[in-house]
């Protein structure tokens, strides 16, 4: 299995070669030359597997240069009930990502796939824990070090830091928007005292942080000299690790491969639902992939109109589902590559237009950049939007009817899922995080605190270690240089 850039100018690479890289040298994103296919016989066999065994079977199709015995050991080490220990009362922790029934109406079933049982109580742990083990394994093989530069709108940062803390040969420099995360999210990151963890609070929004990561990655000499790697959702290994739970959700929700399911995914950066797109391209029987956005509705606008219109920092809303406060969806390029028939020159031109004109138009209308929007339905995509009052109403409704607390992002997903649920096709909503991470909104919705797993009772009171910095890539590069000595 070899990987190519969406922009066409990078030489084909192996899985291990792109594992630590993030962006391709031409500024594109890596994708396999072709998606591996999954047969009906394989799906039948996979129904009996543990989560770790399923992860091995899927990953071995993509990481063909890692010895299978090593890959099996890595997935077995990662996906254990001890690591994913924060299951709710009544859940089987050995399932890792159990399905919870939410509601059934007129033959339409909505299920919640619990993805937040890991150490930082967010779905990001599902991929990040594996990434930490893969990084450590690969660096040890090469006798190398790595400086990870990442950007977070809330959950990626803590998931990365908890996965990489104490890992030999790894330092983490994590950018986050200053004072724009929940108190719990902030404390989860900034309270870490590990010597290899560096938190940088950027005066701006998430997109400013993401732009800095891309600017540093595009300085190829600096990136090579400082051994810069990335754990953001543009990292291919992270995306492919997320593919696993789509297969798991499907296999838990169905008894026959003749059945289809749909997924609703709260999304800002398009990474999580991109994994669903890849699963569908591999042959997983997915009917619809539904993008649920908050007030920052760049993706919803595209999937309704064919116009991709990036918002400026000043136009990006700070909402009560802050991990989706994103106006430039980094992983979207991977889908566009498929949508335009792997025409890398088109992709490069379209994303140059994002930088110069703030977006592109594939609606087919007068003056548009193409008419590929007509093909979007072939890939199963649809979308919807949820705002603050919707979140409050959905949290209250699910709690009243089901006795279940959901977080604000998951509430966005449930609200949109209800708009698309159809009889005979199970609708699976992917959980984003446990509600404890967004306690301020839970209090507003229900007048009570969210339950907290053991060990998180007073996290906001812990001492915090971070620096505040302007949105300036040069300043960040100097800071990394100062703290690595490379």
DSSP letters along 108-176, please? Answer: EEEEEE----STTSBTHHHHHHHHHHHHHHHHHHHT--EEEEEE-SSHHHHHHHHHHTT-TTEEEEEEE
Which residue bears the tokens 């890289």?
21
Relative to beta strand 3-5, strand 30-32 is antiparallel
Q: Is 465 helix (H, G, I), strand (E, B) or coil?
A: coil
Instruction: Output the CA–CA distances (angstroms, integers) from residue 103 to 259, 401, 404, 423, 427, in the order listed.
Output: 19, 8, 11, 12, 10
**How far is it, in rounded angstroms, from Cα 272 to Cα 291?**
10
* Burial of residue 390, with CB atoms counted within 10 A of its CB: 0-12 exposed, 13-18 middle, 19 or more buried: middle
Instruction: Please give the sequence-ordered ranges of beta strands (E in DSSP) within 143-294, or none if there are none.
Output: 146-151, 170-177, 197-203, 228-229, 261-266, 286-293
What are the tokens at 407?
């977080």
pLDDT at 373 over 60: yes
Partnered with residue 102 across adjacent β-strands are none
> Would the pLDDT of 475 be above 70?
yes
Which domains does the chain possess?
Answer: 94-120+237-446 (3.40.50.1100)
Residue 343's pLDDT band, with cuts at 50, 70 and 90, is very high
Whether 418 shows a pLDDT value over 60: the answer reads yes
Of the pLDDT bands very low, low, confident and very high (cuts 50, 70, 90), residue 231 is confident
* Integer CA distances (angstroms), 384 to 77, 130, 316, 412, 418, in order: 37, 31, 18, 9, 10
Across 36-63, average pLDDT: 98
Per DSSP, 256 falls in state: S
Q: What is the predicted pLDDT for the residue at 264?
A: 98
d(CA 470, CA 202): 6
Q: How far apart, in whole angstroms, are the C-alpha atoms of residue 468 and residue 463?
A: 16
CB 218 within 8 Å of CB 27: yes
> What's residue 447's pLDDT?
97
Q: Is the dihedral of CA 474, 215, 211, 370 positive or negative?
A: positive
Q: pLDDT per residue over 166-189, tens digit each?
A: 898 899 999 999 999 999 999 999
CB 131 within 8 A of CB 235: yes
Active site residues: 124
- For the beta carbon of residue 210, count every other beta carbon within 10 angstroms: 25
Q: How many CB atoms lie within 10 A of CB 13?
A: 18
Residue 339 has pLDDT above 70, yes or no: yes
Which residues are CB-contacts of 297 (< 8 A; sequence separation ≥ 6)? 385
The owner of tokens 């059934």 is 104
Entry pTM: 0.93
Which tokens belong to 34?
């072709």
126/355 Cα distance (integer angstroms): 32
The token pair at 370 is 């193409």
Contacts of 474 (CB under 8 A, 6+ apart): none
Q: What value does the mean pLDDT take over residues 151-180? A: 92
Structure tokens at 438: 């967004």
pLDDT at 486: 53
CA distances 144 to 169, 295, 443, Å, are: 7, 43, 47
Dihedral, CA of residue 447, residue 408, residue 132 and residue 263, to nearest 10: 140
Q: Is the pLDDT of residue 485 over 70?
A: no
Bridge pairing between strands 427-430 and 261-266 = parallel
Where is mean pLDDT largest: 20-29, 246-255, 323-332?
246-255
Position 89 confidence tier, pLDDT thresholds 50, 70, 90: confident
For residue 361, which of 348, 352, 370, 349 has the smallest C-alpha distance? Answer: 370
SS3 101: strand
In this structure, are residues 185 and 154 in contact, taking their beta carbons and an 8 Å threshold? yes
State how far the Cα of 72 lies from the Cα of 463, in Å rounded to an integer.
39
- Residues 202, 297: Cα–Cα separation, whole Å: 23
Asked whether residue 111 carries a pLDDT value surpassing 80, the answer given is yes
Kindly tell me if the per-residue pLDDT of 233 is higher than 90. no
Q: What's residue 234's pLDDT?
A: 86
**Sole residue written with tokens 């859940």:** 91
Kindly report the average pLDDT of the chain as a whole number: 95
Q: What are phi and psi of 103, to 5 degrees?
A: -165, 160
* pLDDT greater than 80 at residue 221: yes
Q: What is the dihedral of CA 132, 133, 136, 142, to 10 degrees?
A: -120
């Amino acid at each position: 299995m070899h990987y190519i850039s969406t922009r066409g100018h990078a030489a084909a690479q192996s899985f291990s070669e792109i594992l630590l890289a993030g962006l391709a040298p031409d500024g594109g994103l890596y994708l396999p030359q072709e998606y591996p296919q999954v047969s009906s016989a394989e799906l039948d066999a996979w129904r009996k597997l543990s989560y770790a065994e399923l992860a091995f079977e899927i990953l071995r199709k993509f990481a063909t240069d890692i010895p299978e015995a090593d890959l099996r050991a890595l997935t077995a080490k990662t996906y254990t009930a001890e690591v994913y220990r924060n299951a709710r009362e009544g859940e089987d922790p050995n399932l890792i990502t159990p399905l919870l029934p939410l509601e059934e109406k007129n033959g339409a079933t909505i299920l919640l796939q619990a993805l937040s049982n890991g150490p930082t109580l967010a779905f990001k742990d599902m991929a990040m824990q594996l990434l930490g083990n893969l990084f450590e394994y690969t660096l040890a093989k090469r006798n190398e070090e790595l400086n990870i530069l990442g950007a977070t709108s809330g959950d990626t940062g803590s998931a990365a830091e908890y996965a990489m803390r104490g890992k030999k040969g790894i330092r983490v420099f994590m950018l986050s928007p200053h004072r724009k995360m929940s108190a719990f999210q902030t404390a989860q990151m900034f309270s870490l005292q590990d010597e290899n963890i560096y938190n940088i609070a950027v005066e701006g929004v998430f997109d400013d942080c993401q732009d800095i990561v891309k600017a540093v990655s595009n300085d190829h000499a600096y990136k090579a000299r400082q051994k810069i790697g990335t754990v953001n959702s543009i990292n291919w290994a992270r995306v492919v690790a997320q593919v696993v739970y789509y297969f798991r959700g499907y296999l838990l929700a169905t008894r026959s491969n003749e059945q289809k399911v749909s997924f609703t995914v709260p999304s800002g950066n398009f990474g999580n639902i991109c994994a669903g797109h890849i699963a569908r391209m591999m042959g997983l029987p997915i009917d619809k992939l539904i993008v649920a956005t908050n007030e920052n509705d760049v993706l919803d606008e595209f999937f309704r109109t064919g116009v991709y219109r990036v918002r400026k920092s000043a136009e990006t809303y700070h909402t009560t589902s802050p991990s989706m406060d994103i106006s430039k969806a980094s992983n979207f390029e991977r889908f566009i590559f498929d949508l335009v028939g792997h025409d890398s020159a088109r992709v490069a031109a379209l994303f140059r237009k994002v930088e110069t004109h703030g977006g592109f138009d594939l609606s087919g209308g007068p003056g548009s950049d193409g008419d590929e929007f007509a093909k979007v339905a072939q890939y199963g995509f649809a979308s919807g939007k949820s705002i603050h009052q919707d979140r409050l109403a959905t949290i209250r409704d699910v709690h009243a009817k089901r006795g279940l607390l959901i977080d604000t992002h998951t509430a966005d997903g449930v609200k949109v899922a209800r708009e698309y649920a159809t009889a005979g096709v199970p609708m699976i909503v992917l959980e984003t995080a446990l509600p404890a991470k967004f306690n301020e909104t839970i209090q507003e919705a229900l007048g009570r605190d969210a339950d907290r797993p053991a060990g998180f009772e007073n996290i906001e009171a812990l001492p915090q270690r971070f620096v505040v910095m302007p949105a300036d890539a040069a300043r960040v590069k100097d800071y990394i240089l100062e703290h690595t000595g490379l």
